[in-house]
Structure formats: C-alpha cells, structure tokens
Amino acid sequence: MGLMLLINSSYCLATISGRTIQSGSSSFHSEQTTSALTTQSISSQRRSGMTSKTFSPLTTHVLNTADGVPGAHMALSLHRLDPHMVLWNLLTIGTTDKDGRCSELITREAFTAGMYKIRFETGQYWETLGQTCFYPYVEIVFTIIDQDQTFHLPLLLSRFSYSTYRGS
C-alpha cells in the first residue's frame, strides 16, 4: 500500500492506495505511490524547489479565451510516467501567476527523456470565478525525447473547450 502526504500552509493532501483525502483550499488527484511513505514539504513561494537563478526547460501559460484574460492562480501539477510500474509519479505542483504563467516546473537536471503530463485544475479555477465548466481538469500528456531542448505548453481555455500546442 502506498502513501503520499503533501503539506503546505494552505492545504494538506494525503493519498492512500489511490484514494485522495484533502483539507484546505486546494485539491489534487494523485496516483498511488510505490514507497510506503513519502513526505514532501512544499513552500508557498518555491513549490518546485528552484531558485530564481535556475532555468526551467518546461514552462506553461494558461489563457482564459472566454474572457480574454490570463488564467491566473490556477493550480497545476507535473507528473512523469514510470515505464516499468506504468504509473504516474508526481514531480511538482505549482500555481500560475497573475499573467497565467508557471515557469518553474522542473530543473534541467531532473528533466529527462520520457512521458510527462501536466494536470490543470480547471474546475477549481472556474469555481473561483463563480462559474461552472464542463472539464473539471485538463491533462496534457506529452513525450520528451531530447531533454536538452526547451518546451512551452500553453493551454487555451474556455468553460466548454480547450486546446494546446507546443510553443517556443
């Protein structure tokens, strides 16, 4: 049985055997982990553990195309597929800034070839705007072959549709 516990000043999330238990303002779904106990503290300013001098090879940008504004303060998480266990491992969590950008997702050293996904908590985002949406979350799954490149994955979002592309 796997257990993952994430603690922050604004929320606490525990996943036990694939069942998510939360308290606080944020909610993330996370798959079962293989270790018996993994504890990770995440600061509210540097959730990914990167310093201001570190360059992330992977960035994202959320645009609320329905209202013509950035997708500000949207919770998201980055995962990498373990090809042997065939399960997603949570790498980092973050929140888009006031411009809808999240540029500190992963360090160059941690960025290796493989399959990744970014999960955007779109339902929570629309709820904070007092609106409902059709997609409670959006997951963008992508493959990295050359980890020496940089990747930008924008999400164009409305309440009833979304699209994405590989930017530069």
101 known ligand binder: yes
Confidence (pLDDT) at 166: 95
Decide if pLDDT at 146 tops 50.
yes
pLDDT, average across residues 130-158? 96
User: What proportion of the chain, given as a percentage, has pLDDT over 90?
Assistant: 65
125 known ligand binder: no
Decide if pLDDT at 82 tops 90.
yes
Asked whether 88 and 80 are in contact (CB, 8 A), the reply is yes
Indicate the SS3 state at residue 122: helix
Among 5-9, 104-108, 122-126, 140-144, the minimum mean pLDDT is found in 5-9
* Per-residue pLDDT tens over the stretch 85-95: 999 999 999 99
Query: All domains of the chain, ordered by start, with CATH?
Result: 1-43 (no CATH), 56-168 (2.60.40.180)
Q: Where are the alpha helices (DSSP H) in 5-160?
A: 122-128
Confidence (pLDDT) at 168: 82
Decide if pLDDT at 135 tops 70.
yes
Task: In whole angstroms, give the CA distance from residue 30 to residue 161.
Answer: 24
Q: Cβ neighbours of residue 90 under 8 Å, at least 6 residues apart?
A: 4, 28, 30, 31, 33, 77, 78, 79
pTM summary value? 0.71
Task: In whole angstroms, give the CA distance from residue 74 to residue 90.
Answer: 17
* Per-residue pLDDT tens over the stretch 28-67: 443 333 332 222 323 333 344 444 456 899 999 999 999 9
Phi, psi (5° rounding) for residue 69?
-135, 165
61 known ligand binder: yes
